């Protein structure tokens, strides 16, 4: 229990997202949790939402995170990325989410950390058009280093 508390404290401190990530357990229906906003933002990054320092750090964090993806699973509305089951991957994913949501508010994020050293997944999804956006942005970030098959 202490290790989990220490992990959560580090996650909150390092990623600075105390109110940006909600840990959920035993959700009966994901459909009950979905709520569409009244108005939709365009499917485009709003880099003006970030300071220059935030942008530089976010690019570095994103490159590190996606260059270490272990597997990619295509979903109907986006992609699921399997990450390493270690603290740095989880913290990097949480930091990525906390900043990416500022410049890309149209994305849906899910970070799943399974019990017993099970797999860690980052899901990026959204409405029609978001899937192509995700593929283009991450390919551009890494120079087409990801095999999307």
Model confidence over 74-112: pLDDT tens digits? 999 999 999 999 899 999 999 999 999 999 999 999 999
**Helix (H) and strand (E) counts in the chain:** 5, 4
Tell if the pTM clears 0.85, that is, is over it.
Answer: no
Phi, psi of 40 (to 5 degrees): -105, 135
pLDDT at 121 over 70: yes
Angle between helices 87-103 and 52-67 (to 10 degrees): 130
The stretch 53-65 carries a mean pLDDT of: 93
Question: CA of 17: how far to CAs of 8, 21, 105, 129, in Å?
Answer: 11, 6, 16, 27
pLDDT at 59 over 80: yes
pLDDT at 21 over 50: no
CA distance 53 to 18: 20
State both tokens at 63: 């490159």
pLDDT at residue 106, as a whole number: 93
Closest CA to 134 of 43, 41, 20, 70: 43
pLDDT band at 40 (very low <50, low <70, confident <90, very high): confident
pLDDT at 44 over 80: no
């Amino acid at each position: 229990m202490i290790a989990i508390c220490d992990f959560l404290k580090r996650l909150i401190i390092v990623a600075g997202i105390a109110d940006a990530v909600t840990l959920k357990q035993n959700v009966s229906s994901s459909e009950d949790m979905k709520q569409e906003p009244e108005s939709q933002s365009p499917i485009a990054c709003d880099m003006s939402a970030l300071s220059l320092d935030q942008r530089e750090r976010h690019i570095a964090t994103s490159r590190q995170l996606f260059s270490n993806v272990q597997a990619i699973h295509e979903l109907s509305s986006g992609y699921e990325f399997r990450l390493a089951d270690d603290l740095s991957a989880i913290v990097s994913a949480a930091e990525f989410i906390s900043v990416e949501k500022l410049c890309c508010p149209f994305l849906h994020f899910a970070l799943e950390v399974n019990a017993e050293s099970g797999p860690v997944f980052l899901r990026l999804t959204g409405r029609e058009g978001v899937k192509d956006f995700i593929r283009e942005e991450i390919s551009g970030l890494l120079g087409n280093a990801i095999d999307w098959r």
